[in-house]
Amino acid sequence: MSDVLTSSPALEARGLVRRFGRTVAVSDLSLSIAPGELYGLVGPDGAGKTTALRLLVGLLTPDGGEARVAGAVSHAAGGALRASLGYMPQQYSLYGDLSIDENLRFFGDLFGLSSTNFRERVAHLLGITQLTRFRDRRADALSGGMYKKLALACALLHRPRALVLDEPTNGVDPVSRRELWELLYTLVDEGLAVLLATPYMDEAARCHRVGLLQGGRLIAEDAPAALVRAFEDLAYFVTAADRDAAEAALHDLPGVRALSPHGPGLRVIVAAADAEAFRRRFASADMRWHLEPTAPDFEDVFLMRSIDAE
């Protein structure tokens, strides 16, 4: 039995389609997440991340295709789905006028936890989220990070097999953000399948596998490192105090595919085939800025894949 369970995906989408009026929010989305895998759905705002997650957790009915959580069809929204799924929406969705304890109690009742099981889970979850001290505090009096941890604890009460998080670090300070990520790694190590949506590239790079979502389509999917390795262009860093002037001058050089401000200068992506010509022109055009090659990162990958897809 357990062999079957571990070998089958915890979360699965096959050809999901969802339209809102004339807009196609999610188009032919297929993905599969194994137990113990941390999958990041990355894309800019409006790419269809939230719609994709809502289709997976059964909050939206697909116009085409099918989503399954631990084998249960999502849009049928049956008991098996609820039992194996933990979901944390992007919005604040707990009750601000209830305390941490009362919120947990409420969700514990809804999930039908026995009282011993409930006590054990609450002790464990409050321990790992370091919220034990604040049990009596109202949820609306918690910081952004603490609130998200509480929401995470509520979503994990019933030991789901799959956890779906919509932009979990939205509005969370850097320290809490790191703590949340450490928590996620712990949970994944315990065999939980985690799907999270994020607009942040640095967060995407921390996932086992990422799917790049653009205009409702999955334009690339792999381990972040593999995507970076497969990157065919070259990345350069141009140190320039007068960034606007540098951008204007560099814009028309051969092979330049993208320019983006970055710290004290510009990040330049150049097509590999034109790299030689680019460097020659940069040297001869009497550019007063300093040019150096740099290692492509995940953000470059995402940027170029997006441009290629358009």
Partner 1 sequence: MSAPVLARFSGAVRRTRAIALKEFRHMARDPQVVLLALAMPLVLILVFGYGVSFDVERVPLVVVDRDRTAESRALARAFTAAGTFDLVAVSDDEAAVEPLFRGGHAKVALVIPPDFQRAQGRGDTATAQLLVDGTDNATATIALGYAETIGLTLTQRDLPRGFDVPLRAEVRTLFNPALRSAVFIVPGLIVLVLVIVSVMLTALTVAREYERGSMEQLFATPVGRVELILGKLMPYFVLGLMQVLLVLVVGVYLFEVPLRGSVALIFVSASVFLLAELAFGLVISIVTRSQMVAAQVAAISTFLPALILSDFLFPIDNMPPPLRVVSSLLPPRYLVHALRAIMLRGNGVESVLPDLAAMGAFFIVMMVIATRKFRRTVA
List interacting residues with partner 1 (CB under 8 A).
20, 54, 57-61, 77, 79, 82-83, 85-89, 91-98, 102, 105-107, 109-112, 151, 154-155
CB of 93 to partner 1, least distance (A): 4
CB of 194 to partner 1, least distance (A): 15
Q: Between 47 and 69, name the residue whose CB sits nearer to partner 1.
A: 69
Cross-strand bridge partners of residue 201? none
**Region of residue 112 (phi > 0: left; psi between -120 and 50: alpha; otherwise: beta):** left
CB of 81 to partner 1, least distance (A): 9
| Helix residue spans in the chain (DSSP H) | 2-7, 49-56, 79-84, 100-110, 115-129, 144-156, 174-189, 201-204, 224-229, 243-251, 275-284, 298-309
Q: Between 81 and 303, name the residue whose CB sits nearer to partner 1.
A: 81
CB of 198 to partner 1, least distance (A): 18
Tokens of 260: 């983006």
Per DSSP bridges, beta strands 64-69 and 193-198 are unpaired
Q: Between 144 and 254, name the residue whose CB sits nearer to partner 1.
A: 144
Q: Which residue has the tokens 């050089």?
A: 253
Q: Between 99 and 306, name the residue whose CB sits nearer to partner 1.
A: 99
Q: Between 135 and 280, name the residue whose CB sits nearer to partner 1.
A: 135
Provide the terminal-to-terminal Cα distance of the chain, rounded to the nearest Å.
Answer: 45
CB of 180 to partner 1, least distance (A): 18
Dihedrals phi, psi of 63, to nearest 5 degrees: -80, -20
